[in-house]
Each structure stands twice: as structure tokens, then as C-alpha cells.
Amino acid sequence: MAQALHYKDLGLVNTKEMFKKAMDGGYAVPAYNFNNMEQLQGIIIGCVESRSPVILQVSGSARKYANQDFLPYMAMGAVQMAKALSANIPMVLHLDHGDSFELAKSCIESGFSSVMLDGSHHPFADNAKLTKQVVEYAHERDVTVEGELGVLAGIEDEVSSQISHFTKPEEVEEFVEKTGVDSLAISIGTSHGAYKFKLKPGEEVPPLRFDILEKIEKRVPGFPIVLHGASTVVPEYVEMINAFGGKMDKAVGIPEEQLRKAAGSAVCKINIDSDGRLAMTAVIRKIFYEKPGEFDPRKYLGPAREELIKMVKHKNEKVLGSANRI
Ligand code: G3H
Ligand code: 13P
Ligand code: ZN
């Protein structure tokens, strides 16, 4: 790997202050996944224009895709771009679904300001042990750590599970105490990807388990909670994809009002990846359909980036409540 970097030298922050403000203000900070320049710029411009703090998150496979030595400088570029747009928005570079101490350590050494250790597939004791090991290393460097208890269903590249297990509120307190984590991802009915529920005709999306969330809030008052798998799977994008040559039948996600309710609770971070992918794909499909001769990437990636900006602003302003919080 190239030379070691610390996130503060890149102009990034950790999640501590961000989550405290989100908890006090009754909103959630958006955590958008990215792996290329257009996505990153779309997210940053959307957050600058809505004056929202942002968590830029990268999975292990996205880090490989973008190149681990290149990635920190993309984040540094994002900080500089926001400054040039005259908005000093707080930005976190976060490892999404880290699965080993080595990966978390490598990210911390290359400029990440926050890491997730997802040990949710392990038994409680092993999950706690691994998470604690990462917390000790991270905290020495002022990096924050997200853990996970409970399993989300859904299939998504390197994150996959056929079944979900809701988080057991009675385990949360012990996990938080034992590990020293700064935030905790929980399972209350969300799942990864664009096919979150198998609905029969006429059936509605089942509501999230706010009863479990409330029990967790009582066990660890004021502790930041994270929601993964929180894309709405925006129906307009799915319709556009299907209208212009795609095939995404029965794609369905979490309704916006459920996310609004969650954002007003102890949920301080809401993860969105699939909606960004859908927004860009929908626009690109339409352009390719209408202009089959187009071959300049700027002519389709540019409009895709514009759509992502629109989507990010909408989420920040109308769903998560993170707009105008800087
Ligand atoms: O939750 C996982 C994220 O959507 C990242 O997915 O591994 O395909 O980058 P990925
Ligand atoms: P979605 O697939 O619902 O966008 O979830 C993303 C996520 O949880 C990333 O960690
Ligand atoms: Zn996730």
C-alpha cells in the first residue's frame, strides 16, 4: 500500500459530533455508497446544495473497484470541491460492512475516519470480540466504529443472507458496553438490495418493527442507531428502467414515511446505495434507448450525475431531515 494517511489531513471528520447533533436535532445523517467519480460528485453536490452533513461510504468490494490507493484522494477531492462551492459540510469516509480486523486497519491507515465491523453473522461472543479489537485500534487513532447486531435479509454482492434475524434488544446493552462501539446497526425489517419484500398481489410493504427499536432505545438511551438496507427503491426509477429495456420486476423498498419516522428516533445514520444505483441506471437506459448512437460517456454519465444530485437533495430535505444542519 502507498504511504499511511490520517483522515484529519484529508479534511474529513469522524462520526462523533455528527451523531450527537443528529440525535439532539431529531434527524438522520445520510450515508451514501459510492465507487466512482460521478457518484461521489453527485452525492457531494447534492449535500452541498441542501447543506447537509454526509457519510461517504465504501464497501470492501467498492474499495477494490476504485483502488485503495486512489480512494483517499477522491475523498480529499470531495472536501476541496465542497469548499470551492463555499460549503464546508462535515464529511466522513466510512468503511461499509468491514468483515475483518485487517480490512478495518488497512482502511484506517489509508484515511478512513470511520469503519464498520459487521460481525453480525458470527455468534454474539465472537462478534463482540472482533468488534472490540477494531474499536481499540480505531479509538487510538480517533476513528469511530459501527458494529452490528441482528441479521438483515437480502443479497448484495458481498453482503448476503437468505434470512433475517431481528436484533434482540436484551443483547444490545451488553454488546455496546463490551465493545465500546460508537454506533450500532440493527435489524428491524429493512434489507439490502432492490428486492426487499416478496409481496403477493394487493399486499402492502410490512411496517418496520418500531416496537423493537423502542425497546433498544430504552436499553441504551441516547446511543446512535444505524439503519442499513434503507433504500426506498424509488418506483419512478424502476418504471423508467423497465420502460427502456431493463427488467426489474417486483423491485420494492422501504416507504419514505417509515424512514421519516426512523430518522426522528435514535436512528442517526441511514444507509442508501440501491436508490443511487437505480437513479443513474434509469437515466442511462433512457439515453441509450432514445439515442442509440451516443458514445461519449459525458453525455450519459453527466445526466446520471444530475439525477443523483436531485435524488440526494430530495432525501436530505424531505426524508432524513439532514438538510440545513451544517
Ligand atoms: O450494503 C452493501 C452495499 O450496498 C454495498 O454493496 O458490496 O456491492 O459495494 P457492494
Ligand atoms: P440499500 O441496498 O437499501 O441501498 O442499502 C444499502 C446499505 O445498507 C449499505 O450498507
Ligand atoms: Zn448495509
Q: Which CATH number belongs to the domain containing residue 147 in this structure?
A: 3.20.20.70
- Ligand nearest the Cα atom of residue 277: 2
Catalytic residue among 96, 118, 182, 273: 96
Q: Count structural domains, the chain.
A: 1
**Residue found by looking up cell 450515508 in the block:** 31
pLDDT value of position 157:
41
Q: Which helix (H) or strand (E) holds 310?
A: helix 297-314
The structure's pTM equals: 0.96
CA distance 317 to 50: 7
**Which ligand 2 atom is nearest residue 231's CA?**
3
Q: Is the CB of 241 under 6 A from ligand 2?
A: no
Query: Residue 1 falls within a domain, yes or no?
Result: no
pLDDT value of position 4:
92
Query: Residue 225 falls within a domain, yes or no?
Result: yes
Query: Residue 74 falls within a domain, yes or no?
Result: yes
Query: Residue 184 falls within a domain, yes or no?
Result: yes
**CB 98, CB 146: distance < 8 Å:** no
What are the backbone dihedrals phi and psi of residue 317, each rounded to the nearest 5 degrees, phi first?
-80, -40
Smallest CA-to-CA distance from 226 within 13, 8, 15, 7 is with 15
Query: Residue 13 falls within a domain, yes or no?
Result: yes
Q: Is the CB of 274 under 6 A from ligand 2?
A: yes
61, 148, 281: residue to mutate for ligand 1 pocket, most atoms within 8 A of CB: 61
69 is catalytic: no
CA distance 97 to 119: 9
> How much distance in Å is there from the Cα of 313 to the middle of ligand 3?
21
29, 205, 274, 319: residue to mutate for ligand 2 pocket, most atoms within 8 A of CB: 274
Q: Is the CB of 271 under 6 A from ligand 2?
A: yes
- Each residue of 198-208: pLDDT tens digit? 888 889 999 99
Query: Residue 325 falls within a domain, yes or no?
Result: no
Query: Residue 295 falls within a domain, yes or no?
Result: yes
**Which ligand 1 atom is nearest residue 229's CA?**
1
Query: Residue 2 falls within a domain, yes or no?
Result: no
273, 275, 278, 281: residue to mutate for ligand 1 pocket, most atoms within 8 A of CB: 273
Provide the grid cell at 165. 434475524
- Ligand nearest the Cα atom of residue 191: 2
CA distance 51 to 44: 10
Q: Is 276 exposed, middle or buried (0-12, 13-18, 19+ CB in 10 A)?
A: buried
- Each residue of 149-165: pLDDT tens digit? 999 876 444 455 556 69
Q: Provide the domain limits for residue 19.
A: 7-320
Which regions of the chain are under pLDDT 50? 155-158
pLDDT value of position 156:
42
> How much distance in Å is there from the Cα of 96 to the middle of ligand 3?
7
**Which ligand 2 atom is nearest residue 196's CA?**
3
pLDDT value of position 199:
87
Provide the grid cell at 164. 433475517
What single string gives the DSSP state of each residue in 89-112?
--EEEEEEEE-SHHHHHHHHHBT-
**Residue found by looking up cell 430518522 in the block:** 263
pLDDT value of position 162:
54
**CB 73, CB 37: distance < 8 Å:** no
CA distances from 17 to 21, 91, 305 (A): 6, 11, 29
CA distances from 195 to 50, 54, 198, 229 (A): 29, 26, 7, 10
